[in-house]
Amino acid sequence: MKKQDLTFLNWSKSRKTSGTAGSFLKAYDDTGKIKKYYKLSNFYIESKSFGHECINEVVVDRLLNILGFNHLNYELIYADIAIDEKRYETYLCSSNDFKKSDEKKSEIDMYYELAKKENESPLQFCIRMGFEKEIYQMIIIDFIICNRDRHGANIELLKDSKGKLRMAPLFDHGLSLFFNEQDLSNIKITNYLEDKKVQSFIGGSSLFENLNLLDFNKAPAIKRLTKDDKKYIFEDIDKIMPPAWINAVWKLINKRIEYYENIRVKKQK
């Protein structure tokens, strides 16, 4: 992967998940025809080092391509960057602006507070607005990748000049998989079905309990992944991340797909 020079970008802090160490830095470049956004992995000030959340974004992007879910595409980049006039060499990811020229975007939690009916839950609101398919896909992928960070700002609605509303493609999956593991070369997982505490605007703090929000007669089947899928998901990434991390991520995804499919079939009427 050829190194790029992105030292011209200006980085700023993004909204940070409560309880997460470090700062997540974002930048954008609007000099081209399409506005491009850049995102760094977690930057630890004390050690002057980066995490690997951006690699998670690319792994999940490729998985979503396989599943056929509507989502934002991420590109993995190796580059020189500058933060506070200091130069760093790191991996980051980029994505194109998904908002059309005549659209305005709104975080779903804010829109919900303005447009909800009395005693209407976030899920009921989304179904009434016509986003049942998108929300189902979101709940399912968040379970599969063990996403801990689906707060209201990580779900967006877009309204065009004629008032037509659509849900933005799924984005921001960095805090998933094994993003907070310190020793990536020696990951030893004993429970791939662990129910970690999560932030979820649509559901609660349990990914397993959030699955119960689904009407399994409408929930999509998820195919079992193949060796070719593994090759596609980890292409180039296997040159960056250690084999222990690759194997742990692959096993986690497959174990959780298997669990979802078993419960989907069991609960269908």
pLDDT at site 6: 97
Domain residue ranges in the chain: 4-96, 104-267
pLDDT in tens, 73-93: 999 999 999 988 899 999 999
CATH of domain 104-267: 1.10.1070
> Going by C-beta distance under 8 Å and a sequence separation of 6 or more, which residues neighbour residue 35?
28, 29, 96, 97
Say if residue 156's pLDDT is above 50: yes
The two most distant CA atoms of the chain are separated, in Å, by 61
- Which of the two residues, 82 and 32, has the higher pLDDT score? 82
Contact 38, 27 (CB under 8 A): yes
Mean pLDDT over residues 175-202, rounded?
86
Mean pLDDT over residues 247-255, rounded?
97
* Listed residue (135, 145, 133) closest to 66, CA to CA: 145
Contact 73, 63 (CB under 8 A): no
Tokens in use for 204?
């609660």
In whole angstroms, what is the distance from residue 11 CA to residue 100 CA?
A: 24
* Listed residue (23, 173, 32) closest to 83, CA to CA: 23
In whole angstroms, what is the distance from residue 153 CA to residue 249 CA?
A: 26
Say if residue 18's pLDDT is above 80: no
Find the range with the poorest average confidence among 11-25, 81-95, 155-169: 11-25
pLDDT at site 187: 84
pLDDT at site 124: 97
Q: What global pTM score does this model have?
A: 0.92
R_g of the chain, CA atoms, integer Å: 19
Cα 49 to chain centroid distance, Å, stands at 22
* Listed residue (143, 144, 269) closest to 216, CA to CA: 269
